[in-house]
């Protein structure tokens, strides 16, 4: 008998499914069918809806069923800002490799693919982009890495990008790189830092503008071989004063880039970076910036004017 036809004789929703078999309720006894006998799309959808199945197995079956559009938001919801575990990363990396081959993309170097015609000096861009990504990876290490599976693909701004919420083989338009090597690395670092923030489980309204501004600027500085000066950041906060800092944290005004940088530099400093994940989780759960600062870092607005 055609195995697909057998589904017509039993309940068409399995009691349980895993990577090997699905168990259906039968008239007298349960009916166990190998997964390869099932329509791949149906098996993938059943797996996605079965919370008892380990999440990496649900992802595997959904990919086998071609359910990528339904899967990407599920992965983002599952991770909720956490780094991918090794089993999930392996499954997605295999899909990324197949997709990379399907699109005819060149090999990755340093976690980056520059999909550029020869006149755009792709090799030079590749080198600067890889260095920038390395700095962003180090900056985001307290939040956990990787934020996605597979390399980042830099494509021409005129080209069609992948779905924005796809946590595997992400595609971003390369910035209009200008200046020397340091400037180019800084521009790439801004792009990669924003991508990492986008894949760090933002709240529904997005990360606060001041946070995105400050973090991307820190990434740019690091890519240029400079670490934020704690004393310089302190003086910047002192010059701005408490009302300006409070207004920025509450989102009542467009953030001053220098002040956003000075506050973000304190939050991600070597002494305090271990508290950064707590701060991000509070923002993720709609806790206001000033209160999140107090809870995660035990810092008041007054403290921002006296501690480095």
Q: How far is CA 194 from CA 108, 179, 213, 269, 299, in A?
A: 20, 21, 9, 19, 26
Q: Is residue 235 part of a domain?
A: yes
pLDDT at residue 9, rounded to an integer: 46
Kindly state the DSSP code that residue 155 receives in the 8-state scheme: E
Is residue 278 assigned to a domain? Answer: yes
User: Cα–Cα distance between 6 and 19 in angstroms, integer?
Assistant: 20
CB under 8 Å to 154, separation ≥6 — which residues?
A: 112, 113, 114, 115, 116, 125, 129, 171, 172, 173, 174, 188
* Residue 165 pLDDT: 76
Query: Which domain, by its residues, includes 226?
Result: 209-305
Please tell me the predicted confidence (pLDDT) of residue 146. 85
Q: Alpha-carbon Rg of the chain, whole angstroms?
A: 23
- 190 in any annotated domain: no
Given this model, what pLDDT does residue 121 score?
62
* Position 68 in a domain: no
Closest C-alpha to 35, from 62, 10, 11: 62
Q: Determine, yes or no, domain membership for 9.
A: no
Per-10-residue mean pLDDT of the chain, 308 residues long, equals: 50 75 76 81 85 90 92 89 89 93 88 73 82 96 90 83 82 78 90 94 92 97 93 96 95 88 96 96 94 96 95
**Which DSSP state fits 226?**
-
Q: Is residue 218 part of a domain?
A: yes
Establish if 242 belongs to a structural domain.
yes
**How many separate domains does the chain show?**
1
Examine residue 33 and state whether it is found in any structural domain, yes or no.
no
**pTM confidence score:** 0.86
> Which one, of 226, 301, 214, lies nearest residue 259 by Cα?
214
């Amino acid at each position: 008998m055609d195995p697909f036809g057998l589904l017509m004789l039993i309940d068409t929703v399995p009691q349980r499914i895993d990577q090997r078999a699905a168990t259906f309720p039968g008239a007298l006894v349960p009916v166990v069918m190998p997964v390869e006998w099932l329509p791949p799309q149906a098996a993938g959808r059943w797996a996605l809806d079965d919370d008892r199945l380990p999440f990496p197995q649900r992802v595997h079956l959904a990919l086998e069923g071609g359910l990528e559009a339904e899967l990407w938001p599920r992965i983002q919801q599952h991770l909720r800002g956490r780094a991918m575990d090794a089993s999930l990363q392996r499954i997605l990396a295999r899909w990324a490799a197949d997709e990379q081959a399907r699109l005819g993309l060149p090999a990755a170097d340093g976690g980056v693919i520059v999909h550029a015609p020869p006149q755009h000096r792709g090799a030079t861009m590749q080198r600067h982009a890889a260095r920038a990504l390395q700095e962003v990876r180090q900056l985001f290490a307290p939040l956990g890495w990787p934020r996605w599976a597979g390399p980042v693909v830099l494509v021409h701004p005129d080209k069609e990008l992948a779905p924005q919420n796809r946590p595997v083989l992400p595609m971003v338009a390369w910035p209009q790189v200008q200046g020397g090597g340091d400037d180019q690395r800084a521009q790439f670092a801004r792009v990669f830092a924003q991508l990492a923030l986008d894949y760090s489980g933002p709240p529904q309204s997005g990360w606060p503008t001041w946070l995105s501004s400050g973090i991307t600027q820190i990434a740019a500085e690091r890519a240029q071989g400079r670490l934020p000066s704690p004393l310089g950041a302190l003086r910047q906060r002192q010059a701005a004063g408490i009302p300006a800092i409070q207004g920025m944290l509450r989102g009542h005004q467009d953030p001053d880039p220098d002040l956003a940088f000075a506050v973000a530099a304190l939050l991600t400093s070597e002494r305090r970076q271990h508290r950064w994940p707590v701060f991000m989780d509070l923002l993720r759960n709609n806790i206001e910036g000033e209160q999140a600062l107090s809870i995660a870092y035990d810092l008041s607005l007054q403290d921002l004017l006296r501690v480095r």
